[in-house]
């Protein structure tokens, strides 16, 4: 009996998450109501409230799962080694590609700006922080370089998602690592 309830709870949460993601493609979270989410999900509001406080809580849950998955993916690699940096970036891009619809929506203009900041922090913690510690760059400007690299990486990923992921995750990883390690001159 309890496994049946667990399946029902999982299904309900899944439908609510999908419904919110569908609405986020059309408008920002600040204009989405619980009533709209419930209408799209075909679930009554009391059921919604038995799982989430409001639409922001639901969005936070979705974002938290993505961040947790990113942390699990990235924690398997050591960015101090250049070959692992490429593998790690490729795995991250494979994750983004496998979850492209959700990632595209969450990183869109309708997504939550805090999510992008959280993604940037994860990327910074696993990649740029280690990369900067290996380099001879003055610590005073390293934070600026870090912000530049991570922000640029997010924009590259957003562009890649929005343009139909024409290049493979491996091709994109090579481009991103080359840009990060050698800058524009590596493409001349």
Residue 31's CATH number: 1.10.10
Residues 182 and 96 grouped into a single domain: yes
Q: At which of 11, 33, 57 does a domain end?
A: 57
Residue 105 tokens, joined = 């929506």
**pLDDT confidence tier of residue 149, bands split at 50, 70 and 90:** confident
Domain of 92?
A: 60-187
d(CA 142, CA 147): 9
List the CATH number of the domain containing 104.
1.10.357
**pLDDT confidence tier of residue 120, bands split at 50, 70 and 90:** confident
Gyration radius (Cα) of the chain, Å: 19
Residues 111 and 25 grouped into a single domain: no
Residues 156 and 121 grouped into a single domain: yes
Residues 153 and 80 grouped into a single domain: yes
pLDDT of residue 122: 83
Residues 81 and 165 grouped into a single domain: yes
Residues 29 and 75 grouped into a single domain: no
Instruction: Find where tokens 């961040």 sit.
Output: 67
Residues 12 and 34 grouped into a single domain: yes
Residues 143 and 179 grouped into a single domain: yes
d(CA 53, CA 89): 35
Is the four-CA dihedral 45, 46, 52, 53 of positive or negative sign? positive
Q: Tell me: the pLDDT tens digits for 79-89?
A: 665 667 788 88
pLDDT at 132 over 70: no
23 touches 36 (CB < 8 A): yes
Residues 120 and 171 grouped into a single domain: yes
Mean pLDDT of 26-31: 94
Residues 51 and 65 grouped into a single domain: no
Residues 113 and 43 grouped into a single domain: no
Residues 74 and 7 grouped into a single domain: no
Number of folded domains in the chain? Answer: 2
End-to-end CA distance of the chain: 64
pLDDT of residue 4: 64
70 touches 119 (CB < 8 A): yes
């Amino acid at each position: 009996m309890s496994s049946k309830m667990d399946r029902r709870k999982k299904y309900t949460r899944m439908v609510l998450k999908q419904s919110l993601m569908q609405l986020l493609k059309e408008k920002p979270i600040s204009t989405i109501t619980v009533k709209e989410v419930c209408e799209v999900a075909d679930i009554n509001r009391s059921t919604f409230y038995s799982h989430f406080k409001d639409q922001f809580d639901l969005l936070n849950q979705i974002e938290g799962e993505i961040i947790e998955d990113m942390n699990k993916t990235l924690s398997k690699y050591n960015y101090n080694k250049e070959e692992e940096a490429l593998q790690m970036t490729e795995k991250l891009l494979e994750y983004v590609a496998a979850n492209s619809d959700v990632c595209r929506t969450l990183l869109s203009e309708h997504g939550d700006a805090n999510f992008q900041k959280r993604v940037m922090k994860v990327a910074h913690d696993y990649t740029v922080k280690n990369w900067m510690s290996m380099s001879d760059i003055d610590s005073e400007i390293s934070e600026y370089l870090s912000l530049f690299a991570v922000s640029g990486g997010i924009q590259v990923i957003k562009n890649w998602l929005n343009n139909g992921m024409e290049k493979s995750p491996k091709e994109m990883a090579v481009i991103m690592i080359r840009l990060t390690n050698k800058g524009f001159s590596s493409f001349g």
